[in-house]
């Protein structure tokens, strides 16, 4: 799933299920929601376990220009 990016939106209820399930422990508690950090390996565990659907999945577009 390396071509996917995950983030947590404002519907997060801060239950902590995503953070507990993260295999690389890159999800931390923020002020109003949990936050997925740079260590994310795009495994999708957080997406699958979130009880309220607050974890959003975004497909990364392939860069064809050579610029990043």
Per-residue pLDDT of the chain (68 residues; tens, 9 = 90+): 568 999 999 999 999 999 999 999 999 999 999 999 999 999 999 999 999 999 999 998 776 565 55
Q: Domain of 18?
A: 4-59
Query: From CA 18, how far away is CA 28, in angstroms rounded?
Result: 9
Q: What CATH number does the domain containing 8 carry?
A: 3.30.70.20
What pLDDT sits at residue 48?
97
What pLDDT sits at residue 9?
98
> Residue 54 domain-assigned?
yes
Q: Is 48 left (phi over 0), alpha (psi -120 to 50) or beta?
A: alpha
Check: CB of residue 6 under 8 Å from CB of residue 59: no
User: What is the total count of domains within the chain?
Assistant: 1
What pLDDT sits at residue 25?
97
> Residue 66 domain-assigned?
no
What pLDDT sits at residue 60?
85
DSSP state of 33: S
What pLDDT sits at residue 68?
53
């Amino acid at each position: 799933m390396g071509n996917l990016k995950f983030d947590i939106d404002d519907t997060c209820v801060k239950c902590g299920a995503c953070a507990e399930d993260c295999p690389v422990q890159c999800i931390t508690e923020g002020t109003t929601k949990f936050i997925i950090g740079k260590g994310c390996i795009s495994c999708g565990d957080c997406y699958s376990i979130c009880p309220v659907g607050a974890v959003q999945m975004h497909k990364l577009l392939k860069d064809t220009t050579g610029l990043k």
